[in-house]
Chains A and B, each alone.
Chain A
Amino acid sequence: MNRFLRHASLAACLGVCAGLAGAQQVRLEFLTWYNASQEKDFRVALAEYEAAHPNVKITLNTVAGTGAAVYPNTLRTRIAGGQAPDLFMMWGGSLAAPFIDAKAATDLAPYFKKYNWDSILIPAAVNALKRNGTLWGAPINLRAVTFHYRKDLFEKAGVKVPATMAELEAACDRFKAMDITCLATGGTFGWHQMRVFDFFLEHTAGPELHDQLLAGKASWDRPEVVAAFAQLKKWHDKGWFPLGYGGLSPNQAQQLLLQGRAAMIPEGDWFVPTAVKAGLTDANYGFFAPPTDRKPLRVEGFAEQYMIAAQSKNADAVAHFMNWWLQPATQNRHYMVHGSSATQGATPNAAENPLGAAYKKMVAGYGTYTIMDQAFSKEQMDTGYFRLQTAVTAGQITPAAAARELQRVLQGRP
């Protein structure tokens, strides 16, 4: 009898214990666009979290390579199929809007309150993500786009880091004469061209008007926009972009700089690890805020965020993970995953990552203007903004006609 009771109680305990363990086990899925390097670094962070929380298992899936061109499609299909990942990465502004409007994301206000995220996140990054006053995501970084350049080519050409637009254009003339591409850009997907045109617009319109244009509070059919199109045409005609840049991918454009065939490229902090891995060092590689001849000097910026899917049955567990990830100590340990952070006080380790630290230090001194594709819908970007840039550089329409047409396309903004 005793033997029977012993076995019975052991069986009962095993059943109950297994049941409890099963009930507590949480499996989460996280969808990102991390590249191979970021994925590798992030898996280290995930292992750390899972070791501290053995009941949580996070599956990481990444759609690398084409950025906003393909990633949203994958996410949309998952959501439409009722298979949304619990946690997903997203840009801000108009790129996030369709997911918010389709009620595919969770309102994070309760979690901001519960974990007091406002006290640890950079306010500008938080504010950049609000849609109609509501926070549907938590910012993970605040990106800043500058010009990355080859110091060795600058030295060879005998030019200094330009402080004015005139100096920048003089440097381009010099590089052109030496058969070196001045500014590496890849037109496929459009975002390199977008950064260049946005820079021209900051130069021609100035900070105040530029912000008004992006906010839809000023007409695009105006001389400053015409001047930006004219400047784009000038750079195209002078051959300061790569030959056939419209058909190059951003990766091909990056290779031009990495191989020393282009002097500059418009990229953000994420490019620093790429340059370092390609063998560039502080001796032959650097970055600077492109001169707009305006005060204050601003660089292009945008925020990225983590969002919790409305379909997720484990929103609390996801928020718990996000809270761990957003903490300054975690961000400092894993800074290289994003090469940037929206957490106050998070900095790259200067000893391990001197160029990353230098980049953060440099951009900290500048304000930002919103990147165009976070202000307007992708359709408006494709059918207006990018199409008109191509038409102007191909000589199919004048800069004045392009400004008029752009105003017409952007009038129907969401």
Chain B
Amino acid sequence: MRPGRRFTPYLFLLPAMVLYVGFVIWPMLQSLAISFTDWDGMSPTRRFVGLDNYAGILADPVALLALKNNLLWTAVMITVPTVLGLVLALGLNREFRGRTLFRSALYAPAVLPMAGVAGIWAWMYEPSQGLINASLQAIGLPGLAHTWLADPNTALYAVMVTGIWQAVGFPMVLYLAGLQSIPAEQYEAARIDGATPWQRFRYITMPWLNETHIIVVTLAVIASFKVFDLVFSMTYGGPGQSTQVLASWQYIQTFQYFKAGYGSALTWLIAAILMVVTIPYIRLMSRRGAA
């Protein structure tokens, strides 16, 4: 290969690289630089404070609560919507009348705007006129009616239920795609060999869905650490900071308390956690692409 030709692919990549560096890498580096300062987000000057903002996270009880809430949110979101999505996908992978309608209906919440979802559910949780308490009273369970979003003991779980409702359609679609890639002959052979439905699920379906599991769980973890809209719209982080998550706390610190330095440090904490999850994911996907 002539020496000049070696650089030809890079020339084609150059426009995209310029855009990527200018609009992704450079702002990220700026944010990293801000995280080492005490900048208020407005003043013309800023002071270098080293790692103070990062050390401050450890001493900030709300940040630690937000991290705990994110971990709890992640634990719920990688299990409940994933299992529900798989169950729904298994059901909707069968031939039956109205299958397309069910698939569309179950996926619909995933395409709704988060602010709209939050609005719908906030009204459903409204204590005196909301659908949830009214339904509990209608079926003879008034004792279970509750001030769901106003009670710090239930508010986060109430928002999580909304998150599950909104999120379940996405893993369902991914699992449906995964199920359709399993060769039918495998099931036929297993059936001839006398395998039970559970054995077919355990030894054929689940192994074939391994990559889908990784995709679903990784994306669920990423979404869980990025969660913001539902919390901000439904509870504003309250009552009494009980539903704060890292993204909402970062937003509040940066834009409401005028602590752009500390807010950037929180952003990089979220980024660091997500990198731990996403780097192996990207490597796996790259290997798969190469294969």
Interface residues of A (CB under 8 A from B): 69, 72-73, 76-77, 79-80, 98-99, 101-104, 187-190, 242-248, 252, 377-379, 382-383, 386-391, 394, 396
Contacts A99-B42, A243-B128, A382-B252 given; does A394 touch B152 at CB 8 Å:
yes
Whether B42 pairs with A386 at a CB distance below 8 angstroms is no
Whether A103 pairs with B43 at a CB distance below 8 angstroms is yes
A-B contact pairs, 14 of them (CB 8 A): A72-B256, A102-B43, A102-B258, A187-B238, A242-B127, A247-B148, A247-B149, A248-B126, A379-B256, A391-B152, A394-B151, A394-B153, A394-B239, A396-B152
Complex: A378 Cα to B128 Cα, angstroms: 30
B150 at the interface (CB under 8 A from A): yes
Complex: A187 Cα to B43 Cα, angstroms: 32
CB-defined interface of B196-240 with A at 8 Å, one 1/0 digit per residue?
A: 000000000000000000000000000000000000000111111
Whether A244 pairs with B127 at a CB distance below 8 angstroms is yes
Complex: A3 Cα to B259 Cα, angstroms: 69
B74 at the interface (CB under 8 A from A): no
Complex: A394 Cα to B150 Cα, angstroms: 10
Whether A80 pairs with B236 at a CB distance below 8 angstroms is no
Whether B147 pairs with A79 at a CB distance below 8 angstroms is no
Residues of B within 8 Å of A72, CB to CB, are 255-256
- Closest chain B residue to A242, Cβ basis: B128
B11 to chain A, nearest CB (A): 34
Contacts A98-B42, A103-B43 given; does A383 touch B150 at CB 8 Å:
no
Whether B240 pairs with A391 at a CB distance below 8 angstroms is yes
Residues of B within 8 Å of A98, CB to CB, are 40, 42, 258
A150 to chain B, nearest CB (A): 17
Residue B42 contacts which of A76, A378, A389 (CB distance < 8 angstroms)?
A: A76
Residues of A within 8 Å of B122, CB to CB, are 247
Residues of B within 8 Å of A379, CB to CB, are 256-257, 259
Whether B239 pairs with A76 at a CB distance below 8 angstroms is no
Q: Which of B250-288 contact A (CB under 8 A)?
A: 252, 255-259
Residues of A within 8 Å of B44, CB to CB, are 103
Residue B150 contacts which of A69, A104, A246, A389 (CB distance < 8 angstroms)?
A: A246
Contacts A98-B40, A246-B149, A252-B126 known; list 19 others, CB within 8 Å: A72-B255, A101-B43, A102-B258, A187-B239, A188-B238, A189-B236, A242-B128, A243-B147, A244-B126, A244-B149, A247-B122, A247-B125, A247-B126, A247-B127, A247-B150, A247-B235, A390-B238, A390-B240, A396-B152
A405 to chain B, nearest CB (A): 11
Residues of B within 8 Å of A391, CB to CB, are 152, 240
Q: Which of B115-166 contact A (CB under 8 A)?
A: 122, 125-128, 147-153, 155
Residues of B within 8 Å of A245, CB to CB, are 150
B178 at the interface (CB under 8 A from A): no
Contacts A102-B42, A243-B128, A252-B126 given; does A187 touch B150 at CB 8 Å:
yes
- Closest chain A residue to B252, Cβ basis: A382
Complex: A76 Cα to B150 Cα, angstroms: 30
- Closest chain A residue to B130, Cβ basis: A244
Residues of A within 8 Å of B255, CB to CB, are 72-73, 76-77
Whether B155 pairs with A247 at a CB distance below 8 angstroms is yes
Residues of B within 8 Å of A187, CB to CB, are 150, 238-239
CB-defined interface of B84-125 with A at 8 Å, one 1/0 digit per residue?
A: 000000000000000000000000000000000000001001
Complex: A73 Cα to B252 Cα, angstroms: 9
Whether B41 pairs with A246 at a CB distance below 8 angstroms is no
Whether A383 pairs with B241 at a CB distance below 8 angstroms is yes
Contacts A102-B43, A378-B256, A382-B252 given; does A247 touch B147 at CB 8 Å:
yes
B59 to chain A, nearest CB (A): 12
Residue B240 contacts which of A76, A243, A389 (CB distance < 8 angstroms)?
A: A389
B35 at the interface (CB under 8 A from A): no
Residue B239 contacts which of A99, A103, A390 (CB distance < 8 angstroms)?
A: A390
Complex: A99 Cα to B237 Cα, angstroms: 25
Residues of B within 8 Å of A378, CB to CB, are 256-257
Whether A394 pairs with B126 at a CB distance below 8 angstroms is no
- Closest chain B residue to A245, Cβ basis: B150
Whether B256 pairs with A387 at a CB distance below 8 angstroms is no
**Lowest 9 A-B CB distances belong to which pairs?**
A390-B240, A244-B147, A247-B149, A244-B127, A246-B150, A102-B42, A247-B150, A73-B255, A244-B150
B242 at the interface (CB under 8 A from A): yes
Complex: A103 Cα to B259 Cα, angstroms: 16
Complex: A190 Cα to B238 Cα, angstroms: 10
- Closest chain B residue to A181, Cβ basis: B128
Residue A188 contacts which of B128, B236, B257 (CB distance < 8 angstroms)?
A: B236
- Closest chain B residue to A75, Cβ basis: B42
Complex: A77 Cα to B254 Cα, angstroms: 10
